[in-house]
A and B are shown apart, each in its own frame.
Chain A
Amino acid sequence: MNLFSFMSYIYLLSSSSDGLTRGSVVALAGFLVVLFILALLVVFITLMSGTLSLFEKKESKTEVMPSKELLQSTPEEKPGDGPTIAVIAAAIAAFESGGKLPEAPSPGFKIKKIRRLY
């Protein structure tokens, strides 16, 4: 039984009574249907927003490309971290200007890495 069969059922139920009673039933049912549809939309919108916000969070977690501003910043360095962002930034600057690369702070630091990052 769909919504309109239900509405028709209510309408038929009240068809034997006078116009006002019938109108009252129709008015009540009509308002309830408006309320139901808009409440349904509330549910859909909430579900949509919730689902999208989950995806947005995932996307932000997988964001790997560092921005230029980040590259130029000097975050806290820990010993043994390898080439830090600040060193990479300095390397890029040197590479751009055609100058010599700064000395690598760890053995794993190679020019190839710089190129790829850049």
Chain B
Amino acid sequence: MELLNSLSETIQKLWNNSGFTGGHWTQYVMIAVAFILFFLAIVKKYEPLLLVPIAFGILIANIPGSGVINMDFYDPDFIQSMGYSEGTSFAYRELLSTGGLVDYLYLGIKLGIYPPLIFLGIGAMTDFGPLLANPKSLILGAAAQVGIFAAFLGALALGGFNLGEAASIGIIGGADGPTAVFLTKTLAPHLLGPIAIAAYTYMALVPIIQPPIMRLLTTKKERGVVMEQLREVSKTEKILFPIIVTVVVSLIIPDATPLVGMLMLGNLFRESKVVERLKSTASGEMINIVTILLGVSVGATAVGTSFLRLRTISIILLGIFAFIIGTASGVLFGKIMYAVTKGKVNPLIGSAGVSAVPMAARVSQSEGQKANPKNFLLMHAMGPNVAGVIGSAVAAGILLALFG
């Protein structure tokens, strides 16, 4: 009998310690969200490199009792209550004594380390040749940033968000995950989870979100425009470009230097052809490792109890609004270019200005080919696409300078 009681007590203890008890309903909802993201990534193959680690981060952070991340370490009120001096960004004593793996991984976001490293890798992988061959496409990259400022205004109009929070929500419209993380960790760290998840999810959903807007705003004749072949870009131009961009942008917007500077450093590795090892590291294992760390950390911030709030729904809706406006403004600027050049520019390439490299450029290509099977817009769309990366980093720098 005593043995049975002891066994029952042990089972009871194990049951009480398991994830089946003590869970909040929001955590189960978030686990369901993780499964949806797994479906999108694995079955639909939408940005699996990003969505798989993010979804897994959400999953492990929402298992009741797992406690893989303790966001209190980064909460300003908690930091103050622990007697830290003003301006301390995290409770490092508590983190060192009781923090776990994901708490440490999250430091890479909190200290703004991961986004510039991701940009270094992107720079090493990006060919700016199409942009150099057609510099006007930079304007399309700028045009697509209208979405950022429209969503910023939308958040203010909706109420309940301060300027920093509104700016962080707006940056979702840049369709650039690392930039969104970089800006939000400074302006609204408490919104990092919903903003990062919205940004990455919308990036993954580019092939679904963009085409209806593109078709709505253009005629079949415009979509069928075959653009002239791009000129060949010399090696010297490709080497000078990252240096010029770094100097110009950093002088005007110093806050954009970490992102733009690292993007251009990676590109200089690629184009100089003298540091092949550094280039292959930046564009290979390094960006892969940082993507894993960033994805898991971002996912782990989406703990149901703090994530599932009315504000999160507002953020998700404002994010898609930003994305739609960004795509629309890119296409409309493309239409202006179509008119100015007397039909030489296909307006579809404008939508690629929202970043999301190279997915947005592929969407331009597929839509152009639907209208005219002989149309090859991919390289033309890569110009605004990579310009969008620069544009969103510049926009983030401006918002940081104003509200940081």
Interface residues of A (CB under 8 A from B): 3-4, 7, 11, 19-20, 22-24, 26-28, 30-31, 33-35, 37-42, 44-46, 48-49, 52, 56
Asked whether A7 lies within 8 Å of B402 as measured between CB atoms, the reply is: yes
Of A20, A30, A37, the residue contacting B249 (CB under 8 A) is A37
Cβ-closest chain B residue relative to A46: B135
Asked whether B234 lies within 8 Å of A52 as measured between CB atoms, the reply is: yes
Interfacial chain A residues near B131, Cβ < 8 Å? 45
Is B229 among interface residues, defined by CB-CB distance under 8 A?
Answer: no
Knowing that A20-B156, A38-B391 are A-B contacts, what are 12 other residue pairs whose CB atoms are under 8 Å apart, sorted by A's residue number?
A19-B163, A26-B152, A30-B148, A37-B253, A37-B394, A38-B142, A42-B138, A44-B248, A45-B241, A48-B240, A49-B135, A52-B234
Is B41 among interface residues, defined by CB-CB distance under 8 A?
Answer: no
In the assembled complex, the CB of B158 is this many whole angstroms from the nearest CB of chain A, namely: 10
Of A19, A30, A46, the residue contacting B395 (CB under 8 A) is A30
Is B263 among interface residues, defined by CB-CB distance under 8 A?
Answer: no
Asked whether B249 lies within 8 Å of A26 as measured between CB atoms, the reply is: no
* Alpha-carbon separation in the docked complex, A67 to B131 (Å): 34
Is B209 among interface residues, defined by CB-CB distance under 8 A?
Answer: no
Within 8 A of A (CB), among B253-301: 253
* Alpha-carbon separation in the docked complex, A41 to B391 (Å): 11
* Alpha-carbon separation in the docked complex, A21 to B281 (Å): 47
Of B163, B387, B399, the residue contacting A38 (CB under 8 A) is B387
Give the interface SS of chain B, mostly helix, strand, loop or mixed. Answer: helix
Of B135, B241, B244, B398, the residue contacting A30 (CB under 8 A) is B398
Is B378 among interface residues, defined by CB-CB distance under 8 A?
Answer: no
Cβ-closest chain B residue relative to A11: B402
Of A3, A34, A40, the residue contacting B145 (CB under 8 A) is A34
Of A11, A24, A35, A37, the residue contacting B153 (CB under 8 A) is A24
Among A4, A7, A28, A45, the most chain B Cβ lie within 10 Å of the Cβ of: A45
Cβ-closest chain A residue relative to B157: A20
Asked whether B395 lies within 8 Å of A49 as measured between CB atoms, the reply is: no
Interfacial chain A residues near B152, Cβ < 8 Å? 23, 26-27, 30
Of A23, A24, A39, the residue contacting B163 (CB under 8 A) is A23
Asked whether B234 lies within 8 Å of A34 as measured between CB atoms, the reply is: no
Of B149, B245, B399, the residue contacting A41 (CB under 8 A) is B245
* Alpha-carbon separation in the docked complex, A48 to B149 (Å): 31
* Alpha-carbon separation in the docked complex, A39 to B138 (Å): 7
Is B237 among interface residues, defined by CB-CB distance under 8 A?
Answer: yes
* Alpha-carbon separation in the docked complex, A22 to B150 (Å): 14
User: Binary interface profile of B, 184-226, with partner A (CB < 8 Å = 1, else 0)?
Assistant: 0000000000000000000000000000000000000000000
Of B135, B148, B166, B234, the residue contacting A45 (CB under 8 A) is B135
User: Binary interface profile of B, 306-325, with partner A (CB < 8 Å = 1, else 0)?
Assistant: 00000000000000000000
* Alpha-carbon separation in the docked complex, A23 to B154 (Å): 10
* Alpha-carbon separation in the docked complex, A102 to B141 (Å): 65
* Alpha-carbon separation in the docked complex, A28 to B236 (Å): 36
User: Binary interface profile of B, 366-386, with partner A (CB < 8 Å = 1, else 0)?
Assistant: 000000000000000000000
Cβ-closest chain B residue relative to A44: B244
Asked whether A42 lies within 8 Å of B252 as measured between CB atoms, the reply is: no
Within 8 A of A (CB), among B118-166: 131-132, 135-136, 138-139, 141-143, 145-146, 148-150, 152-153, 156-157, 163, 166
In the assembled complex, the CB of A91 is this many whole angstroms from the nearest CB of chain B, namely: 37
Is B227 among interface residues, defined by CB-CB distance under 8 A?
Answer: no
* Alpha-carbon separation in the docked complex, A13 to B208 (Å): 42
Is B401 among interface residues, defined by CB-CB distance under 8 A?
Answer: yes
- Known contacts A31-B145, A46-B135, A49-B132; A38 and B153 CB within 8 A of each other: no
- The 10 listed contacts between A and B (C-beta, < 8 Å) are A11-B402, A19-B163, A27-B149, A37-B142, A37-B249, A38-B138, A39-B139, A39-B142, A42-B136, A48-B240
Interfacial chain B residues near A20, Cβ < 8 Å? 153, 156-157
Among A34, A44, A45, the most chain B Cβ lie within 10 Å of the Cβ of: A34
* Alpha-carbon separation in the docked complex, A56 to B241 (Å): 17
* Alpha-carbon separation in the docked complex, A31 to B145 (Å): 7
Interfacial chain B residues near A31, Cβ < 8 Å? 145-146, 148-149
* Alpha-carbon separation in the docked complex, A28 to B141 (Å): 17
* Alpha-carbon separation in the docked complex, A37 to B246 (Å): 12
Asked whether A28 lies within 8 Å of B135 as measured between CB atoms, the reply is: no
* Alpha-carbon separation in the docked complex, A34 to B132 (Å): 18
Cβ-closest chain A residue relative to B236: A52
* Alpha-carbon separation in the docked complex, A57 to B152 (Å): 49
Is B180 among interface residues, defined by CB-CB distance under 8 A?
Answer: no
- Known contacts A41-B245, A44-B248; A35 and B142 CB within 8 A of each other: yes
